[in-house]
């Protein structure tokens, strides 16, 4: 157990909120928590943050922990990967942390692990208000009866909920959460520290479809079965029959890499599809500028932060309807197109349709940046703080 930073001194008149998060690896959480901490300093809310582990299996290959995004005091419970720490160890350490740090509100990191359940019960025994962060969507709702019953039990014993879009709100309400107790902050990406929207937009001035050939598409994320990358290769093969110069760049690492390479070669796309491995956003930006669209064909996706990143750099997105961000970020014909997950022909049509947006790439980039400007860490932090204030005054 490591004390990464010392918490700020408490003032007895301030209401104490302790926020638990799973892994320090998540830069976007670092950006939001940094904004949240600085915003709270002018209020009667005294925040403390607990990061349970540094990273997790499947994240290590995508890069290390970037502490430059974590500009707030936090406690790190465990070094290394979350999943590799034993459940009993996590339960003991988190229970001790709860007992040793009296607070008025505890924000749990989730609901799907044994340690989450134990923390919920400890909070109930200590008579502490509790809220839970939820990034699941209505599409993730299981059909297994006992899981449905268990989730309803968990959620109905919480005093508040932090969700990440309309679909997570629908999900929570389906398990008995009261609408008034659900706060949906903007889901915000952690952009490069030197990001300036106006500077990005200026780089598109004068660009048009003629200057952007050959047409390119871009995927960013884990290489995993639920990401629908087999569908993407099949759809891209159909696109190539109409746009023979089209290219597809795939950024990321994961368990499906070898299968993707075999699938690519089987479709005779070896020269048109490049797997680049994992890269940092700063290295991906040039691909965003010259791609027709980011493509996220996931069969399951709680939100899809890569869409935030793409729109921030003026790149429209083609996104499956299973991605949580679709209602908020993907406006058909404006910031991209949505399609039914698993429908390869619909995906190919969306890829062809999005090419038309590049006929006036400056206007398209301006719309992308306009839409995503409302999804900043500061806006997300403000909504969270409003939620905590509400939860502290909610029913017992």
Q: Is 388 in the same domain as 343?
A: no
Q: Is 160 in the same domain as 293?
A: no
Q: Is 282 in the same domain as 353?
A: yes
Residue at 8 is within a domain: no
For residue 368, CA distances in Å to 75, 278, 290, 334 come to 37, 25, 15, 8
Q: Is 207 in the same domain as 184?
A: no
Residue at 94 is within a domain: yes
Q: Which stretch of DSSP H or E encloses residue 307?
A: helix 305-312
Q: Render the burial of 373-392: b for 16+ CB within 10 Å, e for the rest.
A: eebbbbbbbbbbbebbbebb
Please give the residue range of the domain that contains residue 229. Answer: 197-372
- Order of all β-strands in the sheet with 182-183: 74-81, 45-55, 15-23, 105-108, 129-133, 160-162, 182-183
If the chain, 396 residues long, is cut into consecutive pieces of 10 residues, what is the mean pLDDT of each piece? 44 86 95 97 95 86 86 96 95 98 97 96 97 89 79 96 93 94 92 95 75 83 95 98 96 95 97 95 93 96 96 98 95 97 98 94 96 96 96 70
Residue at 293 is within a domain: yes
Q: Is 157 in the same domain as 263?
A: no
Residue at 300 is within a domain: yes
| Per-residue pLDDT at 388 | 97
Q: Is 149 in the same domain as 173?
A: yes
Q: Is 32 in the same domain as 54?
A: yes
Residue-by-residue DSSP string for 5-71: SPPPPP-TTSEEEEEEEEETT-HHHHHHHHHHHHHHTTSSEEEEEEEEEEE-TTTGGG----GGG--
For residue 189, CA distances in Å to 92, 127, 223, 379 come to 33, 35, 20, 12
Q: Is 74 in the same domain as 133?
A: yes
Q: Is 182 in the same domain as 271?
A: no
| Per-residue pLDDT at 146 | 84
Give the CATH number, domain containing residue 173.
3.40.50.2000
Q: Is 54 in the same domain as 91?
A: yes
Token pair belonging to 122: 């400890």
| Per-residue pLDDT at 257 | 95
Residue at 3 is within a domain: no
Q: Is 382 in the same domain as 355?
A: no
Residue at 7 is within a domain: no
Residue at 165 is within a domain: yes
Specify the pTM: 0.90
Residue at 215 is within a domain: yes
When divided into structural domains, the chain yields a total of: 2
Q: Is 339 in the same domain as 387?
A: no
Beta bridge partners of 17: 47, 105
């Amino acid at each position: 157990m490591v004390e990464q930073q010392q918490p700020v001194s408490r003032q007895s008149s301030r209401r104490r909120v302790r926020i638990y998060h799973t892994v320090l690896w998540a830069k976007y959480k670092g950006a939001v928590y940094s904004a949240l901490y600085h915003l709270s300093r002018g209020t009667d809310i005294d925040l403390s943050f607990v990061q349970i582990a540094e990273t997790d299996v499947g994240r290590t290959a995508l890069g290390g922990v970037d502490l430059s995004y974590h500009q707030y005091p936090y406690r790190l419970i465990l070094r290394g990967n979350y999943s590799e720490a034993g459940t009993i160890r996590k339960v003991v350490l988190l229970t001790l942390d709860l007992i040793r740090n009296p607070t008025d509100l505890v924000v749990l990191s989730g609901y799907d692990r044994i340690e989450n359940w134990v923390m919920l019960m400890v909070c109930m025994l200590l008579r502490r208000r509790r809220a839970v962060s939820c990034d699941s969507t209505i599409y993730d709702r299981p059909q297994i009866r006992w899981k449905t019953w268990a989730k309803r039990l968990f959620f109905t014993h919480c005093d508040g909920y932090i969700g990440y879009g309309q679909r997570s709100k629908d999900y929570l309400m389906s398990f008995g959460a009261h609408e008034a107790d659900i706060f949906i902050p903007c889901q915000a990406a952690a952009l490069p520290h030197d990001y300036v929207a106006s500077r990005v937009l200026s780089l598109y001035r004068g660009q048009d479809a003629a200057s952007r050939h050959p047409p390119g598409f871009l995927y960013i994320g884990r290489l995993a079965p639920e990401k629908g990358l087999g569908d993407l290769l099949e759809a891209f093969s159909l696109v190539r029959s109409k746009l023979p110069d089209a290219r597809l760049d795939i950024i990321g690492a994961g368990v499906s890499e070898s299968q993707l390479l075999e699938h690519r070669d089987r479709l005779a796309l070896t020269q048109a599809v490049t797997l680049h491995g994992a890269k940092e956003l700063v290295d991906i930006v040039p691909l965003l500028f010259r791609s027709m669209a980011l493509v996220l064909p996931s069969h399951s996706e709680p939100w899809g932060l890569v869409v935030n990143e793409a729109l921030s750099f003026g790149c429209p997105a083609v996104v499956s309807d299973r991605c949580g961000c679709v209602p908020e970020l993907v406006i058909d014909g404006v910031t991209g197109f949505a399609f039914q997950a698993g429908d390869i022909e619909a995906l190919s049509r969306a890829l062809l349709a999005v090419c038309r947006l590049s006929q006036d790439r400056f206007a398209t980039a301006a719309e992308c940046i306009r839409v995503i400007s409302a999804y900043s860490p500061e806006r997300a932090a403000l909504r969270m703080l409003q939620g905590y204030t509400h939860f502290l005054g909610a029913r017992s």
